[in-house]
Amino acid sequence: MLYQITYLYIKTIQLMATVKIVLRKKQNKDKTFPLAIRIIKDRRTSFIHLGRNLKETEWDFEKQRVKKSHPNSTRLNNFLIKKLAEATDKSLELETQRSDVSSFAVKQKIKPSGGQTFFAQAELYLENLKLAGKYNRYTADKPRVKHFRDFLKGTDISFSDITISLLERFQVYLKSVLENGERTIINHLVVIRSVFSQAIKAEIIDQKYYPFGSGKIRIQFPESSKIGLAPMELKLLEDVILKENKFENHCRNLWLFSFYLAGMRVSDVLRLKWTDIQNERLHYIMGKNSKAGSLKIPEKALRIIEQYKNQKRFKDDYIFPELKVLEKNIGPFLIQRKIAFSASRIDKFLRKNVAPQAGINKKLTMHIARHTFGNISGDKISIQMLQKLYRHSSVITTIGYQSNFIHKDADDALNAVVNF
pLDDT at 143 over 80: yes
Confidence of residue 112 (pLDDT cuts 50, 70, 90): very low
**Using CA atoms, how far apart are residues 223 and 186, in angstroms rounded to an integer?**
12
Beta strands, E only, 213-280 = 277-278
Query: Which residues are registered as beta bridge partners of 54?
Result: 33
> Of the given ranges (180-194, 270-284, 323-337, 378-392), which has the lowest mean pLDDT?
378-392
User: 161 phi and psi, to 5 degrees?
Assistant: -90, -5
> Of the given ranges (5-9, 54-58, 277-281), which has the lowest mean pLDDT?
5-9
Give residue 340's pLDDT. Answer: 94
Give residue 291's pLDDT. Answer: 73
pLDDT at 11 over 50: no
pLDDT tens digits for 331-340? 889 999 999 9
Give residue 250's pLDDT. Answer: 95
Q: What is the CATH T-level fold of the domain 231-377, as seen in this structure?
A: hpI Integrase; Chain A (1.10.443)
Give residue 399's pLDDT. Answer: 55
Confidence of residue 374 (pLDDT cuts 50, 70, 90): confident
pTM above 0.85, yes or no: no
Mean pLDDT of 385-413: 56
pLDDT at 141 over 90: yes
- Identify the top-confidence range among 9-23, 32-46, 105-119, 160-174: 160-174
**Using CA atoms, how far apart are residues 152 and 368, in angstroms rounded to an integer?**
38
Confidence of residue 419 (pLDDT cuts 50, 70, 90): low
Close Cβ partners of 238 (under 8 Å, ≥ 6 residues apart): 256
**Using CA atoms, how far apart are residues 213 and 67, in angstroms rounded to an integer?**
39
Percent of the chain with pLDDT over 70: 78
Give residue 310's pLDDT. Answer: 92
- Greater confidence, 286 or 72? 72
Give residue 390's pLDDT. Answer: 61
Percent helix, strand and coil across the chain, each to the nearest 5: 55, 10, 30
- Greater confidence, 116 or 82? 82
DSSP-derived 3-state class of residue 105: helix
Give residue 109's pLDDT. Answer: 52
Radius of gyration, CA atoms only, the chain: 27
Backbone CA torsion sign across 310, 313, 314, 316: negative
DSSP element (H, E) containing 146: helix 135-151
Confidence of residue 402 (pLDDT cuts 50, 70, 90): low
- Greater confidence, 89 or 300? 300
- Identify the top-confidence range among 310-324, 363-377, 400-414: 310-324
- Greater confidence, 113 or 284? 284
pLDDT at 351 over 80: yes
Close Cβ partners of 35 (under 8 Å, ≥ 6 residues apart): 21, 22, 23, 24, 49, 50, 52, 53, 54, 59, 80
Give residue 186's pLDDT. Answer: 94
Mean pLDDT of 231-250: 88
Contact of 195 with 122, CB cutoff 8 Å: yes
**Strands 59-60 and 65-66, sheet pairing:** antiparallel
| Per-residue CA distances from 321 to 135, 238, 260, 262, 391 (Å) | 20, 21, 19, 22, 25
> Of the given ranges (25-29, 44-48, 176-180, 366-370), which has the lowest mean pLDDT?
44-48
Domain parsing of the chain, residue ranges: 16-111, 118-209, 231-377
| 419 burial type by CB count under 10 A (0-12 exposed, 13-18 middle, 19+ buried) | exposed
DSSP element (H, E) containing 189: helix 182-201
Give residue 3's pLDDT. Answer: 45
> Of the given ranges (13-27, 40-54, 361-375), which has the lowest mean pLDDT?
13-27
Close Cβ partners of 122 (under 8 Å, ≥ 6 residues apart): 145, 148, 191, 195
Percent of the chain with pLDDT over 90: 38
Query: Which residues are registered as beta bridge partners of 222?
Result: none
**Using CA atoms, how far apart are residues 85 and 19, in angstroms rounded to an integer?**
9
Give residue 114's pLDDT. Answer: 42
Average of per-residue pLDDT values in the chain: 81
